[in-house]
Amino acid sequence: MPDLFDKVLRFHELDAFKAAGLYPYFRAIRASEGNEVEIDGRRLVMAGSNNYLGLTHDARVKAAAIHAVEEFGSGCTGSRFLNGTLELHVELERRLSAWTKRGAAITFSTGFQTNLGIISCLVGREDVVFSDRDNHACIVDGCRLSFGEFVKFRHNDMSDLQRRLAASPADKGKLIVVDGCYSMCADLAPLDQICELADRYGARVLVDEAHSFGVFGANGRGACEHFGVEERVDLVMGTFSKSFASLGGFAAGRADVIAYIQHHARSLIFSASIAPASAAAALAALDVIEREPERRERVLAIAQRVRDTLRADGFPVLGEISPIIPLVIGERVRVFRFWKRLFERGVFTNPVTAPAVPQGMDLIRMSFMSTHTEAQVDFVIEQVRETVAEFADELPWYQGSVAG
C-alpha cells in the first residue's frame, strides 16, 4: 500500500551537495550590521540581501519598532477582523494609499499572502488571469487557487500576451498580472505596452512592485511610476521585507476594490495581523523613502557600477537598472561551487537554480544596498573576478584575464 511519506524517503538529491560541503541554503547568520554579517565566526560582505535602501539597521526604523513593542506588545494575536487591527495598521494603510496615489490600501501578514489573497478572491469562475511565466511563486499560487482560467504567456513577450488575450472570450473578466521587476533576472515588465493591451482587450492590471517600490521612479513608487503608467494600472502590491525593512505586504487600488479584497481574501481574513513592530518599522521606512531620494539614487549607482565593470570584463550579467546583479554560471553543481568559493572569499551571495530560472541559466544573484561602502563594492567586484578566473576552464564565455 502506498505511503504518503514514500516521496520523503526517495528525497536524496541534496545528500551529495551536503556531503561535498556545497549545500548553500539555510545558513545561520549570527550577527548583522546590514552590509556585513557574521556566519560561523567569519565576517562577510552581504551582497545577497533585498535590503536595498539599507534601512533594516537605520536608527529611526529600529527606534520605531522598539517603541511599538513597548506600546502595543510583541504581537496582535488575532486577525484584522477581530482583535488584530491597531491604529498603527490604519495609519500605515492611510499613508500607503496617499503615497501610491490610490483610493485605499490594505496590509497583509506577508507579501506572499498578499498576492495569494488578491488574485484568488478577484478571479472567479467566469474570469481569466494572464500571468507572465517568470512571475513569482506567490502569483502562480494565487492563480492556481482562484476558480478562474489560468493562462501563462511567455516572459515579457507582448505578442504572445496579445495572442492569448485575443483568444479569450469577450464576455470573460480578465486580469493581467506581472512583476514590476523580476527578482531573479532583474529585468522590468514593459508596463506601457501591457497597459495598451489591457485597454484594447478590456483587462485589468495588477503589478507586483515588491522589488521596485522604494527603488524605481522619481518618488520611489516603483515600476509603474518609472514607466509613467500609475493611473493606468488598476492594482499594485508591495512587500515590507525589501525596501521597507520589515515584514508584511499590502495592496493598493480603488477604494471599492480594496474593500472587496478586505472582505473576501482568505489569506487576510484567516491570518493574524502583522506585529506592531513590523507596522511601525514600515511606517518609519516610508518616511525615509519619501524624504531621502538619495538612498535609491545611490543604490542604483552602485549597482550600475558593478554591472558596467563586470560587463566590461565580458561577464554575462543580466538586467539593466535594478539593484539586483545576476551573473549567469550555467549549471547547478558549478553554481554551488562558485557560490562556495565566493563565500570562502568573504562575499555572501545567493545561488539560484531551476526552476527559479530557466534550465541551464543557473546564476549567482548579487544585490546591493545604499549603505555599501565603495571599499565593500570594490571587494565584491575583485572577489567575483578572482572566482571567475579560478573557474575559467568551466565557463565558455570567459575570455581570459580581466582588468585588475
Catalytic site positions: 183, 211, 242
Q: Are 211 and 242 in contact (CB under 8 A)?
A: yes
Distance CA 351, CA 374 (A): 24
Distance CA 171, CA 316 (A): 45
Strand partners, 104: 253
Between the alpha carbon of residue 330 and those of residues 84, 326, 364, the distances in Å are: 47, 12, 10
CA angle 270, 275, 281 (to 5 degrees): 135
DSSP string, 324-378: EEEEE--SHHHHHHHHHHHHHTTEE-EEE-TTSS-TT--EEEEE--TT--HHHHH
DSSP string, 74-124: S---SBTTTT---HHHHHHHHHHHHHTTSSEEEEESSHHHHHHHHHHHH--
Q: Are 111 and 237 in contact (CB under 8 A)?
A: yes
Distance CA 148, CA 150 (A): 6
Distance CA 73, CA 284 (A): 18
Residue 387 CB-density burial (10 A; 0-12 exposed, 13-18 middle, 19+ buried): buried
Spatial CA neighbour of 281 closest among 46, 1, 43, 69: 69
Three-class DSSP category at 272: strand
Residues 6+ apart with CB under 8 A from 7: none
Distance CA 352, CA 157 (A): 23
Give 275's DSSP letter.
Answer: P
Backbone CA torsion sign across 375, 376, 378, 383? positive
Distance CA 132, CA 201 (A): 17
